[in-house]
């Protein structure tokens, strides 16, 4: 499974896999405990495949950041999200050296590390995973054709 069907739901801990769409929303399964929940259309939901990280020059898709972490860790777990802020920022600087420090907050880094470790434990991220291109890169590729 790629990040295309992985969700972060506001107010709910962890990540969820999209299972079934219904008339009033959808059913999602927790990656932590496997419990299924019904999510209404009014809930604030983010697809991980649609999230990008700001850099000084552009935006990098979250999938690319996850793949870079997997390459650095040889598909193993990343630094814990429970480490102190300075260690997390130094680690993230190794992963994405030009991340925009004004727009990527320590809480974002913590969340990315936590998400990576959850997905890695489930075998859903690896250094061989396919990554969706960033919107700017996709537009540039389309104009070149």
51-137 carries CATH number 1.10.420.10? no
CA 40 to chain centre: 22
**Cα(124)–Cα(43) distance, rounded to whole angstroms?**
24
Instruction: Report CA 85 to chain centroid distance, whole Å.
Output: 19
- Residue 127: band (very low, low, confident or very high) from pLDDT cuts 50, 70, 90: confident
pTM of the prediction? 0.85
- Each residue of 6-17: pLDDT tens digit? 999 999 999 999
Contacts of 9 by beta carbon, 8 Å cutoff, 6+ apart: 16, 28, 39, 43, 44, 45, 46
Residue range 87-96: average pLDDT? 96
At residue 133, the pLDDT reads: 60
Mean pLDDT score, 57-65: 94
- Which residue would you say has higher pLDDT here, 2 or 23? 23
Handedness of CA 89, 91, 97, 103 (dihedral sign): negative
- Residues carrying CATH 2.30.30, the chain: 3-48
pLDDT of residue 132: 65
Query: Which tokens go with 25?
Result: 């929303």
Structural fold of domain 3-48: SH3 type barrels. (2.30.30)
pLDDT reported for residue 126: 87
More confident residue, 108 or 133: 108
CATH 1.10.10.1650 range(s) for the chain read: 51-137
Q: Which residues, 6+ apart, have CB-to-CB distance to 90 below 8 Å? A: none
């Amino acid at each position: 499974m790629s990040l295309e069907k992985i969700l972060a739901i506001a107010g709910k801990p962890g990540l969820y896999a999209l299972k079934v769409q219904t008339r009033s929303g959808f059913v999602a399964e927790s990656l932590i405990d496997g419990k299924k929940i019904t999510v209404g259309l009014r809930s604030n939901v983010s697809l991980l495949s649609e999230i990008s990280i700001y850099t000084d020059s552009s935006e990098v898709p979250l999938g690319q950041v996850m793949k870079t972490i997997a390459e650095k860790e040889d598909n193993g777990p990343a630094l814990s999200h429970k480490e102190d802020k300075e260690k997390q920022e130094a680690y993230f600087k190794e992963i994405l050296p030009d991340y925009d420090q004004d727009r990527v907050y320590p809480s974002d880094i913590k969340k990315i590390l936590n998400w990576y470790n959850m997905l890695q434990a489930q075998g859903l991220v690896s250094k061989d995973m396919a990554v969706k291109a960033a919107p700017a890169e996709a537009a540039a590729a389309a104009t070149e054709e």
